[in-house]
């Protein structure tokens, strides 16, 4: 059975990522931008009160309108690149990814990606709108953010391969994987330093909440759509190859 | 890893290496796009990129300012 060309994998990944990015940009526009706008309005009242060095208003190289538009474009580009990486990882891992069909394992991998790349950093160092964040701590926060993702990827991979270790009997596998997931998560949250910035008293809690929920919805939806579209494309290809839809599950390992 | 790895096994090593490199490159590009602050490109251009990608960085939960 022929292996799918790498170019096809990349194409599917880019397409899945672009669709997810388009949807993500739409969610960002409708759900996240209102909070960003409100946060910038708060920053503006600070600059008006002569804290000109605090926000983004001190030296405008990109207007607010452009920032919104470029922001949506950035989401599209980021999602397309992520889709390519996702497809290549999916291809490299082959049947080490859980799931019985091409679409099932694409969704499963997207779910694991969401846990490691989105949920873990969101819990350790939650997203903040403008108006929150001390420029002096941005390096520590960025290192923590990337370090959390790295640790979460290692933990997620370990838990997944333990849950699928064929040397262990099924009952033991479940217990071992669950125990590792719980112990690992607790250890990570305990070990990783809390470097999140305090939220200024004049930024309403409701604004922070809306922003964080909007951000999680946006990224979560992007993972889901990326996995779904990629799974659909692999499934459609497997079906076209074999001519029989029911056999796609036997073929997915090579796509 | 004790699992079978059919997808990797029946593919030339060159392709696998290329795939990993490309995947890493794609992820590094994302990082560059979201976190460039004058390391790789002139600081003026980096500042422009930083401002242009600003809203996406916040929405995607990447630490900003
Ligand atoms: Zn910012």
3-state SS, chain A, equals: CCCCCHHHHHHHHHHHHHHHHHHHHHHHHHHHHHHHHHHHHHHHHHHHCCCCCCCCCCCCCCCHHHHHHHHHHHHHHHHHHHHHHHHHHHHHHHHHCCCCCHHHHHHHHHHHHHHHHHHHHHHHCCCCCCCCCCHHHHHHHHHHHHHHHHHHHHHHHHHHHHHCCCCCCHHHHHHHHHHHHHHHHHHHHHHCCCCCCCCCCCCCHHHHHHHHHHHHHHHHHHHHHHHHHHHHHHHHHHHHHHCCHHHHHHHHHHC
Cα end-to-end distance, chain B, whole Å? 41
| Mean pLDDT across A165-178 | 92
CA distance A141 to chain B (A): 6
SS3 B40: coil
- Top residue of B12, B43, B53, B56 to mutate, by most chain A CBs within 10 Å, is B56
Single pTM value for the model: 0.87
Using only C-alpha atoms, chain A has a radius of gyration, in whole angstroms, of 21
Cα of B64 from ligand 1 centre, angstroms: 5
**What pLDDT is recorded for position B3?**
44
Q: Which residue has the tokens 């979560």?
A: A220
**Mean predicted confidence (pLDDT) in A58-63:** 74
Comparing CA positions, the residue from A111, A108, A88, A112 lying closest to residue A9 is A88
- Whether A28 and A75 have beta carbons less than 8 Å apart is answered as yes
Sign (positive or negative) of CA dihedral A192, A197, A198, A199? negative
The two tokens of residue A52 are: 């000109």
What is the per-residue pLDDT for A255? 46
Q: Closest chain B residue to A254 measured between Cα atoms?
A: B7
The whole-number pLDDT of residue A249 equals 47
Give the pLDDT confidence score for residue B19 in this predicted structure: 87
Say if residue A243's pLDDT is above 80: no
CA-to-CA distance for B26 and A119, rounded, in angstroms? 21
- If you count them, how many residues does chain B have? 65
> Greatest CA separation found in chain B?
50
Q: What confidence score (pLDDT) does residue A163 get?
A: 93
Distance CA A19, CA A221 (A): 11
pLDDT single digits (tens) B1-59: 444 444 455 677 888 888 889 999 999 889 888 877 666 777 788 888 888 999 999 99
Burial A66-91 (b: 16+ CB within 10 A, else e): ebbbbbbebbbbbbbbbbbbbbbbbb
The answer to whether A163 touches A234, Cβ cutoff 8 Å, is: no
Q: Which residues are near ligand 1, the ion (C-beta closer than 5 Å)?
A: A 130; B 64-65
Nearest one of A4, A81, A7 to B11, comparing CA atoms: A4
Nearest Cα residue to A163 out of A178, A152, A177 = A177
State yes or no: pLDDT of A82 exceeds 60: yes
What spacing in Å lies between the alpha carbon of B62 and ligand 1's midpoint? 10
ipTM of the modeled complex? 0.86
Which residue of B lies nearest to A135 if distances are taken between CA atoms? B65
What's the confidence (pLDDT) of residue A60? 74
* Ligand 1 centroid from CA B43, angstroms: 17
Q: Containing H/E element for B63?
A: none
């Amino acid at each position: 059975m022929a292996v799918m060309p790498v170019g096809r994998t990349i194409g599917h990944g880019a397409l899945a990522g672009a669709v997810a990015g388009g949807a993500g940009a739409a969610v960002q526009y409708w759900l996240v931008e209102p909070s960003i706008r409100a946060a910038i309005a708060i920053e503006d009242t600070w600059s008006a009160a002569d804290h000109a060095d605090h926000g983004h208003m001190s030296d405008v190289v990109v207007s607010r309108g452009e920032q919104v538009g470029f922001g949506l474009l950035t989401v599209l580009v980021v999602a397309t690149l992520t889709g390519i990486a996702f497809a290549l990882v999916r291809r490299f891992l082959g049947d080490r990814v859980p799931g019985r069909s091409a679409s099932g394992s694409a969704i499963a991998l997207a779910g694991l990606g969401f846990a490691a790349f989105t949920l873990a950093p969101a819990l350790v160092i939650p997203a903040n709108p403008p108006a929150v964040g001390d420029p002096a701590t941005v390096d520590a926060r960025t290192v923590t953010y990337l370090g959390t993702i790295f640790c979460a990827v290692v933990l997620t991979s370990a838990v997944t391969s333990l849950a699928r270790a064929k040397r262990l009997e099924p009952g033991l596998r479940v217990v071992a994987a669950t125990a590792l997931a719980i112990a690992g998560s607790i250890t990570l949250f305990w070990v990783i330093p809390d470097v999140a910035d305090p939220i200024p008293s004049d930024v309403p809690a409701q604004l922070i909440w809306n922003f964080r929920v909007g951000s999680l919805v946006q990224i979560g939806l992007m993972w889901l759509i990326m996995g779904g579209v990629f799974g659909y494309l692999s499934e459609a290809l497997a079906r076209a190859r074999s001519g029989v839809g029911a056999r796609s599950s036997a073929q997915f390992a090579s796509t | 890893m004790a699992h079978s790895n059919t997808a990797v096994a029946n593919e030339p090593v060159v392709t696998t290496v290329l795939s990993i490199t490309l995947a890493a490159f794609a992820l590094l590009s994302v990082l560059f796009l979201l976190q460039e602050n004058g390391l790789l490109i002139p600081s003026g251009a980096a500042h422009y990129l930083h401002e242009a990608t600003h809203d996406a960085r916040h929405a995607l939960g990447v630490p900003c300012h």
